[in-house]
Amino acid sequence: MRQRILVIGGLAAGPAAASKAKRTNRDADVVLFEQGEHISSGICEVPYFIGRSITDAEKLSPLNPLNFERTRGVKVHVLHRVEEIHPVQKKATVRDLYHNKTLQFEYDKLILATGSQAKAIGLAGEEARNVFHVKSLADGFAMKHFIDEEKPKHAVIIGGGYVAMEMCEAFGMQGMETTLLHRDDLPMSRLETESRKIVLEELVKNSIRFQARRIIKAFKTDATGKVTDVVTDAGSVPADLVLLAIGVAPNVELAKSVRAQLGSFGGVLTDQHQITSVDSIYAAGDCCEVKNLVNNRWMYAPLATYAARQGWTAGEHAAGGSAVFKGGIRAIAVKVFGIEVASVGLSSTEAEASGFHPVMDYIVGDSKISFYPGSEKIHIISIADKKSGRLIGANVAGGSGSVLRANILGVAIQQKMTMDEVSKLDLIYAPPFSPLWDPILTAAHQLRKQTGSVK
Ligand SMILES: Cc1cc2nc3c(=O)[nH]c(=O)nc-3n(C[C@H](O)[C@H](O)[C@H](O)COP(=O)(O)OP(=O)(O)OC[C@H]3O[C@@H](n4cnc5c(N)ncnc54)[C@H](O)[C@@H]3O)c2cc1C
């Protein structure tokens, strides 16, 4: 009999899993369910669509279900929500949302790629039509429509992570006066203090009104049901549009219903083939936790990079292959107006909590030779373990080339290189691209003095 593989979730991890399963076993019946209208859509691009750097909406959803079926050989059911899984009978109950009827599907292997959900703030007014999340393409289209139709002048963003940063720029490009309400002193809590100061400086330079240490108390609404003000512990901020960007949580309703083991962050735990604790059920993407390769602990890192790799792994393995996903170092970058900001590996706080003995150094270098046109400053904070001399984390912020340098440091972290080894990397020197001593080498030379790795 043909192998039956069901995949639940059609954004990043699900389509990756389904395509890979079909490629691995051409004879398998692979079926993908997505409760929304779109599959394989580019949510990461939505901030740039709102900011109009990307104007062609069709590019955000390049694969419609029919296309996907034709090119990948996977049967796609959009507007179908999987409501129940029966692991003993190996069946799933699916609601066809279009015709409002339920259907039963049998499986040999099932892959959960149910992703994550935007966190709610839990205040009355949150459902108002001018309060948005950016978690799906539908959210992005709804916000774009609202901006085009109602031409809001004042935007309030509640949050302070990388999505909030991207949306500050997007709203700025729409000419909106934007206030960012954040619970901490500085934006981007996972970065080191110096990097966070650089981010704040860039926000302020671009007219973002940053309000630190704010607790959101209420949304004031008008007679039409729109929010007019965000009320905080330190006063009210007028708003024509409110964006909630306070993070996401793993969507594990189905995983819980089959009693799959969850981790301390609430995500599904899997082995290196993405197999859950439940027979014949795999999980991939934002619904899962990820093994952090630096401290060998679980982390919750909802990123498209992991969703795609875990999806591939689950799909291939479910179809009879031997794929493995070992984990990641948490490599993440964001463009904040004119600067690039990236973080790789552990933060100093995480390093401390993981039992390392972190030492840190901060250097400022040039992206090209200093007098070459377009040369910009690059700030590197590197974190090493004093005992082993290993590089375990870094932030890179500044001009063009920052993210590429962060990637090099990321590779060094993943390869467990010592600061001494990083300081001896054979990096290119060429005036338009890098000074003779690339900022990475300068950072490594500096920090290795604080570790036991000086030779
Ligand atoms: C604005 C924004 C920018 C981002 N930028 C980046 C970036 O630059 N780099 C990066 O690496 N990551 C980025 N991310 C994160 C990345 O988008 C996510 O990690 C990725 O989308 C996760 O994919 P997923 O398939 O696991 O989950 P999701 O994207 O959450 O998709 C899960 C899908 O499953 C469907 N589903 C859930 N339950 C059911 C059910 N019971 N039945 C049927 N369907 C169901 C949902 O409708 C959804 O479509 C960004 C995220 C956002 C919001």
pLDDT in tens, 139-197: 999 999 999 999 999 999 999 999 999 999 999 998 999 999 999 999 999 999 999 99
The CATH number linked to 390 is 3.30.390.30
Q: Name the CA radius of gyration of the chain, rounded.
A: 23
The CATH number linked to 219 is 3.50.50.60
**One domain, residues 170 and 222:** yes
**One domain, residues 9 and 108:** yes
User: Residue 454: what pLDDT?
Assistant: 53
Instruction: Please give the share of the chain, as a percent, with pLDDT higher than 70.
Output: 99
**One domain, residues 197 and 311:** no
In a domain, 420, yes or no: yes
Give the atom of ligand 1 at the shortest distance from the alpha carbon of 167. 1
User: Residue 61: what pLDDT?
Assistant: 81
**One domain, residues 423 and 402:** yes
Distance CA 263, CA 277 (A): 12
Identify whether the C-beta of residue 324 lies closer than 8 Å to the C-beta of residue 273: yes
User: Residue 186: what pLDDT?
Assistant: 98
Domain boundary among 191, 224, 246: 246
Identify whether the C-beta of residue 198 lies closer than 8 Å to the C-beta of residue 191: no
**One domain, residues 241 and 134:** yes
Domain boundary among 287, 318, 349: 318
In a domain, 379, yes or no: yes
Residues with a CB atom less than 6 Å from ligand 1: 8-14, 33-36, 43-44, 46-47, 81-82, 113-116, 134-135, 163, 251, 254, 285-286, 302-305, 307
User: Residue 330: what pLDDT?
Assistant: 98
Give the atom of ligand 1 at the shortest distance from the alpha carbon of 36. 47
**One domain, residues 77 and 35:** yes
In a domain, 181, yes or no: yes
In a domain, 148, yes or no: yes
The pLDDT tens digits of the residues spanning 40-90 come to 888 899 999 999 888 888 888 878 899 999 999 999 999 999 999 999 999
Distance CA 369, CA 334 (A): 24
User: Residue 41: what pLDDT?
Assistant: 83
User: Residue 453: what pLDDT?
Assistant: 54
**One domain, residues 206 and 256:** no
Q: Of all protein residues, whose CA lies closest to atom 51 belonging to ligand 1?
A: 44
Mutate to test the pocket of ligand 1, among 31, 34, 244 (most ligand atoms within 8 A of CB): 34
Distance 385 CA to ligand 1 centre (A): 34
Give the atom of ligand 1 at the shortest distance from the alpha carbon of 83. 41
Average pLDDT over residues 326-338: 97
Distance CA 395, CA 383 (A): 9
User: Residue 273: what pLDDT?
Assistant: 98
Interior angle at CA 286, CA 281 and CA 290, nearest 5: 80
| Residue among 166, 176, 153, 229 nearest 199 (CA) | 166
Give the atom of ligand 1 at the shortest distance from the alpha carbon of 16. 25
**One domain, residues 27 and 127:** no
Distance CA 34, CA 81 (A): 6
User: Residue 383: what pLDDT?
Assistant: 98
In a domain, 33, yes or no: yes
Q: Of all protein residues, whose CA lies closest to atom 30 belonging to ligand 1?
A: 115
**One domain, residues 266 and 236:** no
DSSP 427: -
Average pLDDT over residues 189-218: 97
Distance 40 CA to ligand 1 centre (A): 9
Distance 430 CA to ligand 1 centre (A): 40
Give the atom of ligand 1 at the shortest distance from the alpha carbon of 302. 19
Q: Of all protein residues, whose CA lies closest to atom 37 belonging to ligand 1?
A: 114
Distance 183 CA to ligand 1 centre (A): 25
- Does residue 365 carry a pLDDT above 70? yes
φ, ψ of residue 398 to 5 degrees: the values are 145, -140
pTM for this entry: 0.96
Q: Of all protein residues, whose CA lies closest to atom 3 belonging to ligand 1?
A: 44
- Does residue 279 carry a pLDDT above 70? yes
**One domain, residues 358 and 293:** no
**One domain, residues 168 and 202:** yes
In a domain, 49, yes or no: no
Instruction: Please give the share of the chain, as a percent, with pLDDT higher than 90.
Output: 93
**One domain, residues 15 and 87:** yes
Q: Of all protein residues, whose CA lies closest to atom 50 belonging to ligand 1?
A: 44
In a domain, 334, yes or no: no
Q: Of all protein residues, whose CA lies closest to atom 20 belonging to ligand 1?
A: 304
Number of domains in the chain: 3
Range of the domain at 34: 4-41+55-117+249-318
- Provide CB contacts within 8 A for 2, sequence distance 6+: 27, 28, 29
Q: Which three-class secondary structure state does DSSP give residue 4?
A: strand
In a domain, 330, yes or no: no
Domain boundary among 318, 348, 369: 318
The pLDDT tens digits of the residues spanning 392-404 come to 999 999 999 999 9
Sheet strands (E) in 154-258: 154-159, 177-181, 209-211, 216-221, 227-232, 235-238, 241-245, 248-250
- Does residue 455 carry a pLDDT above 60? no
User: Residue 452: what pLDDT?
Assistant: 67
